[in-house]
Structure formats: structure tokens, C-alpha cells
Amino acid sequence: MITARYRNAFLPVFSITATVARDLMRIEAVRKAIQLLPVTPRVLANLRETARLFSTHYSTMIEGNQLTHGQVIQVIGGGSHYPGRERDQEEVKGYYAALEAVERLAAKRTPVTERTVRHIHALVMGRGRVRVKPTPYRDGQNVITDARSQAIVYMPPEAHDVPGLMKQFIAWINRRNDLPAPLRAGIAHCQFATIHPYYDGNGRTARLLTTLILHLGGYDLKGIYALEEYYARDLNAYYRALTIGPSHNYYLGRANADITPWVSYFIAGMADAFERVQGQAARASAAGATDQSKLLRGLDARQRRALHLFRSSREITAKEIGALFGYQPRTATQLCRRWVSNGFLVTVDPSRKTRRYGLDSVYDSLIDR
């Protein structure tokens, strides 16, 4: 057993057990296999969108969201409204928007900063809005209680300690060390939840931050996996793994608790999620097909999302784009014009009063109609 200890008191003690080492090898094996797997752009786009929707559904479900997976798909598509579930719908839109932002940050190799974390949290809480102001940390004490018994489950650090802890936290994430990205991501998940810098949205932000660290560390797996399903399958196990230390109070042992049980749980879950999508991707890939993911990587998150509109129709309108993203007509029209200028869309019959747009032929192979 190898125990990794850090001089910085901010970080906990954990051990790399034989089981953790074995699961890390499982993860690495799948990572290499997926890199070599031939997947067509169309199949890759479908797998990625499936992963986004699963991530959104399960991560919000962990927090009590009542929408089904099918309803989540409808809400993200902009075509459905469920009376009495307005808050659930806003949570789903917010998480999906934040997940898209994480993908953009990873694609640009943007380092993790406090502003990055605050921006991700703002998107989580932003009801699907794309333009949000980074949210400040909480300014008071909050307590996590059991929904049924109302017993205190966890008492986070006091508000005046949060800025310093977050500064240390971000510095550690960006420090060069010999820890594999899966371990760094798992520790970051646990430590963010421990600091609990916000009144609400901490769990969702922690899971998104985990995804960003994995992607930046080379464990994006072409963007086709969703760790959140593993957590959601057994929420009690997820919360037990996060509940560490001799006391529920941050200052009475939680801060420096041995997090080996959480590390074991997280790495096992990551290996499970990777192996699940490996089988899925292998079945979906065409024999001998060439992976043209470079074509998809050239599109931004909104363009990839807009591709789904072309599955049922070869022509779309600015109004449909507006409905998809929640934009005002003027903003949607401007976006369509910009996409025409950069070669993503083409204008169909400019003489018509209601302008319609088609997909440039370069991207037509990405659509499965």
C-alpha cells in the first residue's frame, strides 16, 4: 500500500490500494482502446450528445430533480414545458449550459482558476443562460441536513475561511505533481464538496469540475462517457463515500480526514463508466471507418447542438435556432448570419420573406436523417 501525503495541510491523506491501482490500469486500457477505435463523425456526434444528456439527467437527479431522461431530452431541445416542474427544467438547462462551457474550456486548454469555477457555478445556477456573471462565494454559514431526519450531515467551514481554502485548492489543482489525472480529479471532487463554497449547486459544480480536470488531463475519452450515472445508480453509496472523518464538523476532523474510501469509490466508478462506453462505442463504430472527429472538433458547442435540428429537416429558420437556445429573434438572426459567414450554414433561397438555412455540404455527412 502506498500512502500519498502532502505537506500542505489543506490536502487530505489517502492511500493507493491494490484495488485502486488495478482500477487505474482498467481506465488506462480503455483510454488507449478508445483512441484507436474507428468511429465515424456521425456516430461520434451521437455518442457525445447521448453522454451530455445522461450527464445532465443523472447529475440533476442526484440533487432531487424529478424529470425523466426523456423529459430532459425534450427540455434541452426546447420543445416542451412541464407545469409545476419549472425549477427542474431550469436546473437541467443550467447544467447542460455549464457542461457545454466545460467542453469549450477543455478544447481551449484553459487552466482551472477561481474565476473558471465561479463561471461554471454561475452557469449551473443560470437557468440555461449563456451570459452570466461569475458568482461570489457564500457570505454565511450553511449546514447540510438529512432530508428525512433533519439531522446535521455536514457543517462546512465558515464563510471567512472559504476564500483562502479555494485559493489553496486551485493552486493545488495547477501544481505539477506525479498524480494521474483520475486521482487529481477524484481528490478535487471531494475537496470542493468539503469546502462547500456556495449555498447551493456545490455537488453539480464539483462534478463538472471533475469532468474539466479529466478532459484537461487527457481523459476526455472523446467526450462519450458520463460518470454521473454511476453515482446515481446508488446514491447512498455516493454519499457514504463522501461522508468521511470522525465528525460532521469541518474543524473537528473532516478537513484532514483520510479520504481513501472516496478515492477507491471514485476510481472504481470511473473504470466502470469507461468500460461501459467502450462496449457502446465498439458496437456503434462502423467496420473500417475512419475517425473524422477533427471535423466535429472544428464546431463550437452551439453548432454541434444545432446539428440535431437537421436530423428531421434539411432547412431551418432563425426562429428554430432561437427556440433551441432561448434567444430573442434579433440574436438568433445574427447568429445564423455569423454561421453563414463562417461556412457552417448556407442561405436557402434568399428571395423568400422568411429566410431559411441549410447545413453546408461539408457537414452533411454528420447527420443521420
Q: Is 291 domain-assigned? A: no
Q: Which of 24-38, 183-197, 352-366 has the highest mean pLDDT?
A: 183-197
Helices 41-62 & 260-284 angle (0-180, nearest 10): 150
The answer to whether residue 349 sits within a structural domain is yes
Encoded amino acid at 223, one letter: G
Full-model pTM: 0.76
Residue ending a domain, among 284, 310, 334, is: 284
pLDDT of 95: 97
What does the pLDDT read at residue 273?
Answer: 93
What pLDDT is stored for residue 184 in this prediction?
Answer: 94
Is pLDDT above 90 for 183?
A: yes
- Is the Cβ–Cβ distance between 159 and 141 less than 8 Å? yes
Given a cut of 60, whether residue 186 has pLDDT beyond it is: yes
Domain CATH code at residue 112: 1.10.3290.10
35 and 126 co-located in one domain: yes
Does any domain span residue 293? no
Residue where a domain stops, chosen among 284, 312, 343: 284
Average pLDDT over residues 304-331: 86
pLDDT of residue 6: 37
Domain that holds residue 191: 2-284
Average per-residue pLDDT in the chain? Answer: 87
Q: Which residue has the cell 453522454?
A: 51
pLDDT for the residue numbered 368: 57
**Same domain? 193 vs 262:** yes
Tell me if 286 sits within 8 A of 43, measured CB to CB: yes
Roughly what angle, to the nearest 10 degrees, separates helices 86-107 and 202-216? 20
Asked whether residue 275 falls in the same domain as residue 311, the answer is no
Q: Which position has the grid cell 481523459?
A: 219
In the chain, count H helices and then E strands.
15, 7
In a domain, residue 295? The reply is no
Indicate if 73 and 110 belong to the same structural domain. Answer: yes
Instruction: Count up the domains in the chain and report the number.
Output: 2
End position of a domain, from candidates 284, 311, 330: 284
User: pLDDT at position 284, please?
Assistant: 67
